[in-house]
Structure formats: structure tokens, C-alpha cells
Chain A
Amino acid sequence: GAGVSQTPSNKVTEKGKYVELRCDPISGHTALYWYRQSLGQGPEFLIYFQGTGAADDSGLPNDRFFAVRPEGSVSTLKIQRTERGDSAVYLCASSSSGGPADTQYFGPGTRLTVL
């Protein structure tokens, strides 16, 4: 079956621009997560959705970052006024219910480069 997909796979932008990163979770998965992975580091939690609502956005670094999931499926991570420090791989993951032992399935990531 289809796994988690993310588009674009690569995004190069200039400092100060706005970007949108898209995540298509596994069909039927109600839980969706966004992570940021910098070079040489493990993924860092950004935000968690259960259905349409952001159940935990405590990992968003500042108010330039925002994410939506309007219909409880596809999610978009939005970054305003991008900075060079935002350059990283942005990973999306989904799981069936967000339960305690729920396994997260990750997408291939979007590599964001801010020049």
C-alpha cells in the first residue's frame, strides 16, 4: 500500500520567502506528526495532529512556523520569512491512532535549503 508521501522532495528558497511543505499520510491514519532534522542530528518534534486539530504544537520554534490539516488527511507545514537556520530536512510521519504503542511511519522528507 501507499506510504507517507511528501512534496516537494527538495525546496530551495531565498531568505525571507514563504514556503509550504506538503504531507500525505497513510490512508486512514488519524495521527500526523511533523519533525525537523538538521544535519547530523536526530529528528526534532514540531507538531502533532489528531484528526484536524493540532493536539500539540509545542515543538514549533517560533510564530513563523504554522501547520494545518483542514480535512484530517493532508497536512501543510508553512514557514514565513524563512531564515538560513530553517534549512533542514522536514519529516512527516503518520500513525493509525496516536495511541501509546502506535508506530509512526515516516515519509521521505522534504529537504529545505534557504539561501
Chain B
Amino acid sequence: AQKITQTQPGMFVQEKEAVTLDCTYDTSDQSYGLFWYKQPSSGEMIFLIYQGSYDEQNATEGRYSLNFQKARKSANLVISASQLGDSAMYFCAMRELLRGGNQFYFGTGTSLTVIP
């Protein structure tokens, strides 16, 4: 089974609008971390936001927020007030902490295009 599933290969959003990128995960561990990364066309992976499995509040970092629904095992990324520079690939990732927490499992990514 896939550890991380991102079902939206491509998304479009109008500039200044909000967009939600979906991510579901599969783990039997109680302790895990969820991450979102942005990968522009330059190729470098840029960390956006982190959510721990025991965090009661949804993580927020500026225009990024993580809609964490533990029972549904989903960790959707919400980008508010989209900007042209947000056009990139977005990857959801998970780290299972009880198993040593060394491996990050990444999804296949969502390509976001912001339309002017």
C-alpha cells in the first residue's frame, strides 16, 4: 500500500484565490510527522510546513496551513491568496517516528499552476 497518496496530478488556481492540495497517508504508528514540500522548476525541495500526529491544532506558516484530519488520515495543504510564484510541484511526506523516523515517504506530487 502507498504510504502517501496525492490524487491530484495537476491543479489550477486563480491568482489571489485559495487552493487545497490533497494528501492522505497510511500508517499503523501512533507517532508520526507530516510534511509538505514545494519543488519549483529549479528542482530544489523547499520545506513549507510540518504537523505532528499529536499536535492538536492545525499547523500554519504564513499563507500555508495544514488541514489535519487524523481519523481520516488526511493532511491537506491550504494555500491562501495564491501568487504566481506558487506555481510548482507540491509533495506531501510522512515520517514514522517509532520506527526510527529515518525514512521520509513522499507522494507523487501535485503540480500547481497559478493563473494570472
Q: Which A residues fall within an 8 A CB radius of B?
A: 33, 35, 40-45, 48, 55-56, 58-59, 89, 91, 93, 98-101, 103-109
Q: Taking A40-B108, A93-B45, A100-B33 as given, write out 11 further A-B residue pairs in contact, using a Cβ cutoff of 8 Å, ordered by the A residue number.
A: A33-B102, A55-B102, A58-B103, A59-B103, A100-B31, A100-B97, A104-B47, A106-B46, A108-B42, A108-B43, A108-B44
B21 close to A (CB within 8 Å): no
Q: Once the chains are docked, how many angstroms separate the CA of A40 from the CA of B91?
A: 11
A99 to B33, CA, bound (A): 11
CB within 8 Å of A: which residues of B?
A: 4, 31, 33, 35, 37, 42-47, 50, 52, 91, 93, 95, 97, 100-109
Q: Which residues of B contact A45 (CB under 8 A)?
A: 102-105
Please, could you name 16 A-B residue pairs with CB atoms under 8 Å apart, sorted by A?
Answer: A42-B4, A43-B91, A45-B104, A55-B100, A55-B102, A56-B103, A58-B103, A99-B101, A100-B31, A100-B101, A101-B50, A103-B50, A104-B35, A104-B47, A104-B104, A107-B44
